[in-house]
Amino acid sequence: MTPYQPAASRSAVLRLALGAASATLALAIGATAWADDPAPIKIGVIAEAQAVAGSSIPQAAQIAADEINAKGGVDGRKIEIVSYDNHSSSAESVRAFQRAVNEDHVNAVIGSYISEVVLALEPWAGRLKTVFITPGAASDVITQNIAKDYEHNKYTFHGYLTSGALSGLVCDAAKDMLVDGLKMKTAVIMSEDAAWTGPLDAGYEACLPKIGLKVLDHIRFSPDTTDFTPIFNKIEASKPDVIITGVSHVGTQPTVQWKSQQVPIPMFGIASQATNSTFWKDTNGATEGVIYQGVSGPGVAVTPKTLPFVDAFNKKYGNMPSYAGYTAYDDVYIIADAIKRAGSNDGDKLVDAMEKTDYVGTIGRVQFLPKNDPHVHGLRTGPGFITGLMLQWQDGKQVNMWPANLANGKLEFPSFVKIASGGN
């Protein structure tokens, strides 16, 4: 082994140097070749092709591109989607990002629903001066990084709700549905220990008492937890009226064990997997009665664009888009619109144009928060912009409960759930 080592490291250095040289060359050639050519607008899509939430991202982006191209493109330029499977890995995503920019010459990148992946890509968006938008990650740190170092990180846009914003929307819904509707008084927060739940939990802790739900306990568990029996037993011991959830990566287990153990307390909050249309089958129906936050739901016309998109997606791929599918579809339109307004492929000019976005997409009206906001480049939320929905799984279907003007059903719980109206 020893005699080969120097050679190995020498060749590695050589390879690195060659790689850097060819990358520079490629950049130079790319720049000259594009000087005044009506070249297509290339959008890189880096996503988790094997995960349900991620697999919709390139599919939805393609639909948007096809629609724009069918109408003649952007000033005659076609939109071309170049997609990369990142296998849910940050390292592979970074490689894909470098390849997208340096070799495939994309004008912007749409990428990932995993906060950890997006946080790994954020500095690369800055280094390669390429606009990057995530359709599904939720960590507040993404926008905090932009606020901290705007000049370097301004290329990143947060195309989905931050955890802090999510907690606010869950509280808004809890006020109407639980406190005013079911007269609940107490809650236990149950969330997984991950990057995205830090601000979510802080948000819950702050807003739940304000709307009249006393927080009795707060349980954070490891995302690789398999046995939830101890967690539910602990929660039941403190006798809350509701469990406020923050679960995503942990999968089906909490839902399945909630049912199999017949925990008599309803679950309400963020349960990312519950947004998938396959969740009923994945849990063998254990999700009956689970109430979760979403930005979309079957048959819910949040905006006039929502249902036509869902129909197009279903027609082309035979299933329903995941939550990140809606936003990825909108993101292609947002980028195309910004490139049209910027009149240039230049990264800085594109950032300026993106910041002026005012676009009604499939989940509401999209505007990015301005430069001096602590969540700069995050989505504007609240009435008139994005409010989100609160849905419940009922007999194999996702039924919308909130806001009232978009509701298409009434709350129903499985028989083992005891609704403690009036509190105890």
Partner 1 sequence: MLFWQILIDGFAISSLYALGATGFTLIFGVTGVLNLSHGAIMVAAAVAAWAASGNFGAGAYLGALSGVVVALVLALATYYLIVRRLQLSRAVREEEKEIFILTATLLWGIMIQEAIAYLFTNNAKTVLPIVDGVVTIFGVRTPANEIFTALVCWATIGALWLFVNRTLAGKAVLAASMNPRGVTLLGIELSTVYVGVWAIYGALAGVAGVLLGMFLGVSSYSAGPLTASAFSIVVLGGLGSVSGSLIAAYVVGYLETLTAYLISPAYRAIPALLLLVAVMYVRPRGLLGRR
| Residues contributing to the site for partner 1 (CB under 8 A) | 50-52, 55, 88, 193, 219-222, 224-227, 229-231, 233-234, 250-253, 256-257, 260-262, 273, 276, 278, 281-284, 286
Query: Which CB atom, from 175 or from 220, has the smaller least distance to partner 1?
Result: 220
* Spacing of C-alpha 174 from chain mean position: 21
Contact between residue 217 and residue 157 where contact means Cβ atoms under 8 Å apart: no
Cα→Cα distances 120→96, 114, 178, Å: 12, 10, 38
The neighbouring-strand residues paired with 287 are: none
Smallest distance, Å, CB 274 to partner 1? 12
Smallest distance, Å, CB 281 to partner 1? 5
Alpha helices in 180-266 (DSSP H): 197-211, 229-237, 253-260
Give DSSP secondary structure letters for 290-303: -EEEES--TT--SS
Query: Which CB atom, from 15 or from 418, has the smaller least distance to partner 1?
Result: 418
Smallest distance, Å, CB 98 to partner 1? 24
Tokens of 366: 């999209």
What stretches of 40-199 adopt beta strand conformation (E)?
41-47, 79-85, 108-111, 131-134, 156-158, 186-192
Cα→Cα distances 184→177, 204, 245, 290, 406, Å: 9, 16, 16, 17, 23
Query: Which CB atom, from 153 or from 322, has the smaller least distance to partner 1?
Result: 322
Smallest distance, Å, CB 283 to partner 1? 5
Query: Which CB atom, from 52 or from 171, has the smaller least distance to partner 1?
Result: 52
Query: Which CB atom, from 55 or from 134, has the smaller least distance to partner 1?
Result: 55
Instruction: Give backbone dihedrals phi and psi of 420, rounded to 5 degrees, phi first.
Output: -85, 70
Query: Which CB atom, from 56 or from 345, has the smaller least distance to partner 1?
Result: 56
Smallest distance, Å, CB 392 to partner 1? 19
Query: Which CB atom, from 195 or from 302, has the smaller least distance to partner 1?
Result: 195
Dist. CA 273–CA 247, nearest whole Å: 8
Smallest distance, Å, CB 220 to partner 1? 6
Smallest distance, Å, CB 249 to partner 1? 9
Going by C-beta distance under 8 Å and a sequence separation of 6 or more, which residues neighbour residue 88? 48, 50, 51, 54, 114, 117
